[in-house]
Amino acid sequence: MQYEVKNAPLPVLICKMSDGESIMCQKGAMSWMTPNMEMATGIGNNGGGFMGAIGKMAKSTFTGESIFRNTYTCRGGDGEIAFAASFPGNIICFNTTNSQIIAQKTAYLANTPGVEMDIFFQKRLGAGFFGGEGFIMQRFSGKGMVFLEISGCICEYNLAPGQAMLVDTGYLAAMEATCSMDIESVKGIGNALLGGEGLFNTRVSGPGRIWLQTMPVNALASSIQPYIITRSS
């Protein structure tokens, strides 16, 4: 399979596929495709029997995603399928063969066979309560490609062991599983109360890569809210 991301900041992932190749996605994510793409809808993208189905239902409850996933398989020659992002930003591509990826729970767009998706719970209560990323994130592992949609532009950092980055609420899009998260309070009462940055920042420590997004969805919503005129009926 060959893939490319085009037309950011309103990006689309275009996948050119050979006969027999498959790709999976969240329910309703497909934007356009050639007629020889065959669709099959199922619960999740892996087996596991009854207990596997229970696990997928729990994941759906925590992450807000549909329990159903669509698998598209190319039949009878080469084909093409496209997945457009649901908000302005970018689409980033990860190979999970060499490292596990932890991402915000709204990031998932599509994946190739062999990628495992699990719930990732924050182990530190402080990071879950005050870090802005929440207790629930998603872990992607296995062997394959996963495609994630990110708000705004993306900035990538490779943190060395012991190196850290302080991140404001919502700006952490993804990190390698070797990284860790904690919170750090803003120093100085005046800074915390009057600085407009809140009381806490998320501290992400290496080793590993992190991906930061320049315009979280909540920040985008706040910036356009004053221009939205509401009318009572």
Rounded distance between C-alpha atoms, residue 213 and residue 229, angstroms: 28
Rounded distance between C-alpha atoms, residue 185 and residue 206, angstroms: 19
Judge contact between 219 and 200, C-beta under 8 A: no
pLDDT at 151 exceeding the cut of 80: yes
- pLDDT value, residue 231: 56
Q: Which CATH number characterizes residue 140's domain?
A: 3.60.160.10
> Is 121 among the domain residues?
yes
> Is 80 among the domain residues?
yes
> Is 232 among the domain residues?
no
Judge contact between 57 and 63, C-beta under 8 A: no
The pLDDT of 103-115, averaged and rounded, is 93
Rounded distance between C-alpha atoms, residue 4 and residue 91, angstroms: 10
pLDDT at 196 exceeding the cut of 50: no
| Top-ranked range on mean pLDDT: pick from 10-14, 48-52, 178-182 | 10-14
Q: What is the 3-state secondary structure (H, E, C) of 94-115?
A: EECCCCCEEEECCCEEEECCCE
pLDDT at 127 exceeding the cut of 60: no
The pLDDT of 209-228, averaged and rounded, is 86
Rounded distance between C-alpha atoms, residue 51 and residue 43, angstroms: 12
Q: Which domain holds residue 30?
A: 2-227
pLDDT at 126 exceeding the cut of 70: no
26 — pLDDT class (breaks 50, 70, 90): confident
DSSP state of 160: P
> Is 159 among the domain residues?
yes
> Is 233 among the domain residues?
no
pLDDT at 195 exceeding the cut of 70: no
pLDDT at 133 exceeding the cut of 70: no
pLDDT at 53 exceeding the cut of 60: no
Total domains in the fold of the chain: 1
> Is 12 among the domain residues?
yes
Tokens describing residue 124: 């530190």
- pLDDT value, residue 201: 82
- pLDDT value, residue 18: 98
- CA–CA distances in Å: residue 62 to residues 31, 137, 217, 230: 26, 9, 19, 31
Query: Across the chain, what does the average pLDDT equal?
Result: 82
DSSP state of 124: S
65 — pLDDT class (breaks 50, 70, 90): low
Count of Cβ atoms closer than 10 Å to residue 145 Cβ: 20
Lowest-confidence region among 15-29, 95-109, 189-203: 189-203
> Is 139 among the domain residues?
yes
